[in-house]
Chain A
Amino acid sequence: MKESLEKAIFPAFAAKWKQQHGQVVVFQSSFAGSETVTNQILRGAPADIAILSIERDVQRLQKDGFVTADWHSLPARGIVNKTPFVIIVRQGNPKGIRDFSDLAKPGIRLIHPDPISSGGAQWSILAIYGSELKKSENESGEGERDNQRALQTLRAIWKNVISTPGSAREARTTFELGNGDALITYELEGLLMKEAKAPIEIVTPQSTIFSEHPAVVIDKNVTAAKRPVIDAFMQYLWSDEAQQAFVQFHFYSATNDAFNTAFGHIEMPFAIDYFGGWDKAYPNVIEGVFRDQVQRK
């Protein structure tokens, strides 16, 4: 996120605003994990806008009165960009991994961040579990979700996990040091690894989840004088120009699929609303399925 904003979107918007209003916009930005950023704002960090990686954090900001406007009324329901979960394998794909279900085969060694501490790991669990549900729906013809099948796959995959680092970034480092045959992470992360010339391949699963990233105005902190520029910037985030900039930095555009050409094909994509939102996904899948039936078995 940092690069796309600092290298493309901030300077482009600042130039535009200067041309139209003669004022210089100075961005002060701080980047950290979504939860950390949210906690900082809740404790009084004077942010005007936040771009977060998990909707639950927006809800926390709403609960304490920091976000008062209906953020879903923004373009694309307030989602500014997104990235799907994919499988990263070694160059040449020596273990022949084509989909999540291949990770369940005996002898595969998987690096997976710890779902208790890492948001990325929670996405990954939802990606695996949801993809099996999607496939079962598709195969049954009557749209029935086979929870048992999804549970069995998740269990078998978890047996192959050899290390659970604390964060998605730490998992990437562990994988880059040569440990494990596969890593589940954001496609964005995989594309960055490739850009850094890491000897890896990206495997796009048949069905996977999109991590969607909302942008919100911290209404409580925005003064009347700043309001016009804040609103203009928010509109700009969903403009074609900004959306294409996100694509250049490996995010999917949230507004226009015509921009999303440089990515692997996902047959059956889904998002968090497939589980009824984070409100339901966390207790039902992360706690109810993963923690109680997979990890503690």
Chain B
Amino acid sequence: MSTAATAMRHVRGFDVARPLSIGVLVLMMLPLVFLPLASIFIFGTSNGLDKFWSALMQPEAIFALKLSMATSFWATVFNVIFGLFAAYVLSRYNFWGRNALIVTISLPTAIPTAVAGFALLLLWGPYGTLGRLLTPHGFQIMFTAGAIILANIFVTFPLAFGVIKPVFDTMSRSLEEASATIGATRWQTFWHVTLPSLRGAIVSGALLTFARAVGEFGSTILVSGNLAGRTQTAPLYIFAKFNEGQIEAANAIAIVLALFSFLIFSVLFFARDWLDVD
């Protein structure tokens, strides 16, 4: 048996396994990924491009896209800085409870996003642990753009950290040690030696975080208030339009989000060499 299999793999000339396996791969992806995506595009543009364009140009749709971009941007800024800091601390120092911290940072990946949403409501709401202290001073973050940023930070918490930490772990210490030997301060070493070698990890961590935050739905719908033109992000807008039976309007924004993530992941893929990520 095994000899037969080995023999087949070494057949010269036309290798039937190659087109066959590629074909099977594409065929498997067809109903699972390609067709669902394609149906968004087909349906969204089936009534003509002008319909698509006017659906996209609705003031509430534009607002929703802008709000998604802005809230995702700030969540990304925070999580990249935090991820960098956390990765630095957790790969440089060994201390009691270190593993527990690493596990906790990773938790939001597995927690349902709706749970993230009501956890934030419980914490920041007027009866919540933090909310109780802040509400009397007129500070209410729930049902504002701030709440959306908090939700985005929570659900994308581990992403940048997860990309940056392995690079830290495998980074050769000799360069940093050399830098220290020639009299550089810790901060100079970090800024001129450590950070540049993390460039790739930071960019890809940021793109991943941003892409995930833009698509966030489950936690946002609970904490944002979901008001069109005020606190409704792009995914919430899509859901609202679907509920209203305005599938074309929902689809137009879905297409924009799909193209957007395609762009982000293309950058991630093709800029790999420049980004220096393996």
B227 at the A/B interface (Cβ < 8 Å)?
yes
Task: Determine the residue in chain B with the shortest Cβ distance to A295.
Answer: B228
Task: Determine the residue in chain A with the shortest Cβ distance to B131.
Answer: A178
A211 to chain B, nearest CB (A): 21
Partner of A179, one of B126, B226, B228, B240: B126
Bound-complex Cα distance A156 to B122 (A): 29
Bound-complex Cα distance A117 to B244 (A): 8
Q: Which B residues are CB-close (under 8 A) to A178?
A: 125-128, 131, 135
Please report which residues of chain B, range 29-79, place their CB below 8 angstroms from some CB of chain A when the two chains form the complex: 60
Q: Which A residues are CB-close (under 8 A) to B143?
A: 162-163, 179
Instruction: Compute the total of residue contacts between A and B using a CB distance below 8 Å.
Output: 42
A219 at the A/B interface (Cβ < 8 Å)?
no
B142 at the A/B interface (Cβ < 8 Å)?
yes
Contact B243 A116 (CB under 8 A): yes
B207 at the A/B interface (Cβ < 8 Å)?
no
List residues of chain B with CB under 8 Å of any chain A CB: 60, 121-122, 125-128, 131, 135, 142-143, 221, 225-228, 240, 243-244
Task: Determine the residue in chain A with the shortest Cβ distance to B122.
Answer: A177
A244 at the A/B interface (Cβ < 8 Å)?
no
List residues of chain A with CB under 8 Å of any chain B CB: 114, 116-117, 161-166, 174, 177-179, 295-296
Contact B240 A116 (CB under 8 A): yes
Q: Which A residues are CB-close (under 8 A) to B228?
A: 295-296
B116 to chain A, nearest CB (A): 15
Bound-complex Cα distance A164 to B223 (A): 10
Q: Which A residues are CB-close (under 8 A) to B240?
A: 114, 116
Q: Which A residues are CB-close (under 8 A) to B60?
A: 296
Q: Which B residues are CB-close (under 8 A) to A179?
A: 121, 125-126, 142-143
Q: Which A residues are CB-close (under 8 A) to B221?
A: 166
The 7 A-B residue pairs whose C-beta atoms are closest, nearest first, are A178-B126, A178-B127, A163-B225, A162-B143, A177-B125, A117-B243, A163-B143
Q: Which B residues are CB-close (under 8 A) to A166?
A: 221
Q: Which B residues are CB-close (under 8 A) to A174?
A: 121
Partner of B225, one of A116, A162, A295: A162
Task: Determine the residue in chain A with the shortest Cβ distance to B227.
Answer: A164
Task: Determine the residue in chain A with the shortest Cβ distance to B58.
Answer: A296
Q: Which A residues are CB-close (under 8 A) to B125?
A: 177-179
Partner of A163, one of B126, B226, B244: B226
Q: Which A residues are CB-close (under 8 A) to B135?
A: 178
B227 to chain A, nearest CB (A): 6
Bound-complex Cα distance A226 to B157 (A): 60
B167 to chain A, nearest CB (A): 41
Contact B127 A116 (CB under 8 A): no
Task: Determine the residue in chain A with the shortest Cβ distance to B240.
Answer: A116
Q: Which B residues are CB-close (under 8 A) to A295?
A: 228
B254 to chain A, nearest CB (A): 18
Q: Which B residues are CB-close (under 8 A) to A177?
A: 121-122, 125-128
Task: Determine the residue in chain A with the shortest Cβ distance to B221.
Answer: A166
A167 to chain B, nearest CB (A): 12
Contact B131 A164 (CB under 8 A): no
Contact A163 B122 (CB under 8 A): no
Q: Which A residues are CB-close (under 8 A) to B121?
A: 174, 177, 179
Partner of B244, one of A116, A161, A162, A164: A116
